Amino acid sequence: MKYRKLGKSGIKVSALGFGCMRFPTMETDDESLSPFEIPVNEEESEKMLLYAMENGINYFDTAYPYHGGKSEEILGRTMKPHRDRVMIATKLPAMMVKEASDVERFIDEQLKRLDSDYVDFYLLHGLSNHSWSLMKDFKALEFMERLISDGRIRYAGFSFHDEVKVFKEIVDSYDWTLCQIQYNYFDENRQAGKEGLQYAAGKGIGVVIMEPLRGGNLTDNIPPTVQAIWDSAETKRTPAEWALRWVLNHAEVSVVLSGMSAMPQLVENLKIVEDAESDSLTQDELSLIQKARQEYEALLKVGCTGCGYCMPCPNGVDIPTNFNAYNNYFLFDQQQMARMMYNMFMPENQRASSCVECGECEEKCPQQIKIMEELKNVHSVLHMEGGVEGFPPPPPKP
């Protein structure tokens, strides 16, 4: 495993970090469950966590809402006998804080879930202009100072989803140890982006990267036109390797998080980072990745990463699954399959047509997607009166 320094702290962190937002889940026949409600396969998750640790990963990232709270519990239980070998990062759920007393309640609950007296890195979660304003109102920075002084956390940081000008304001507001940003070759100039990456690193802040594979969008069901670009490369690599190497090519990056949900993904990623040094990609390889980005930009309809922050919908709409089917319709020439998924396999209350436009999801979306408008587009494209050609229509509602 390669290790990098976490900014001015000098702490050595594994180049690959384990993101605990997408643990493997159990097989289920309950079609009413959204992907974010399916129970975690705890035995397989523990195996993956231990395998990661034994192969050099020392940075494990979780958060209060991941897997409905089970993520922190599983990570804490698994790592308790090895606590001195790993560093755990978790987050104060800024979007869930309603009053000042909540910030104290959350950290105490999280330490109990993690079965630990302390957290190595405690981040304000998913900051945007709105949530940052709330955190200032609730004096969250003073609270972080108190947590450091009493030993409940060792270092303070924040994760971020908004425009770069907001990012710079937050960076300049406190002596942060680390920040966490979304960064991949598709999103190089979105959110904090390259400008934010360089700004934070220039201040000595360790930069942790999330969504390097964009929730699997850059590795799964590759469009034929994109695959042709990868096939043209002199050095053959998987889409995951191209994406991870592009992020690790940046010397400003301290650690790249990958939300691995199966052991083969973990094994592949460990192999990739063995020699993924900064500034190791050639100019021809960087140009190839640029071509892939341009092709994706031409095809992608909704910039959803499947993070699930918008869930649960008060009316039951499965927003990420709707957007996934909609993107697949255009990205992968899967018109029949996308319509089948929407009309045949999604319960009616989970379809885009069930949106009542309450707007709750848009307040939570880290990508600032106009979800209500896009759900109308999903339904207009995917809905087929009477069902899908070749398949009987769904049964009427009782």
Residue 182 pairs in a beta bridge with 210
Which is more confidently placed, 237 or 328? 237
C-alpha closest to that of 6 among 178, 224, 121: 178
Helix (H, G, I), strand (E, B) or coil at 370: coil
Alpha carbon 276 to its chain centroid, in Å, reads: 21
When pLDDT is cut at 50, 70 and 90, the band that residue 342 belongs to is confident
Is 104 in the same domain as 239? yes
**Number of structural domains in the chain:** 2
Q: Residues 181, 320: one domain?
A: no
Q: 328: part of which helix (H) or strand (E)?
A: helix 319-331
Closest of 250, 252, 244, 254 to residue 274, by C-alpha = 244
**Among the three residues 292, 320, 348, which one is the final residue of a domain in this structure?**
292
On whether both 10 and 27 belong to a single domain, the answer is: yes
Cβ atoms of 290 and 242 closer than 8 Å: no
Q: Which helix (DSSP H) or strand (DSSP E) does residue 147 occupy?
A: helix 140-149
- Which is nearest to 302 in space by CA: 226, 379, 207, 245? 379
pLDDT tens digits for 231-253?
999 999 999 999 999 999 999 99
Tell me which DSSP letter residue 393 carries: P
State which amino acid sits at residue 104.
E
- Same domain? 230 vs 304: no
Tokens of 110: 């999280």
Mean pLDDT is highest, among 191-200, 307-316, 358-367, 382-391, for 191-200
Q: Which residues are within 8 A (CB) of 347 and not within 5 positions of it... i.e. 6 or more apart?
A: 31, 32
pLDDT value of residue 332: 63
From 292, 318, 348, the end of a domain falls on 292
pLDDT in tens, 128-169: 888 899 899 999 999 999 999 999 999 999 999 888 999 999
Residues 306, 216: contact at Cβ < 8 Å? yes
Kindly state whether residues 134 and 249 are assigned to the same domain: yes
DSSP output for 55-95:
TT--EEE--TTGGGGHHHHHHHHHHGGGGGG-EEEEEE-GG
Q: Is residue 256 located within the same domain as residue 177? A: yes
The total number of residues written for the chain in this structure? 398
Q: What residues does 253 pair with on adjacent strands?
A: 207
Which domain range does residue 320 map to? 300-398
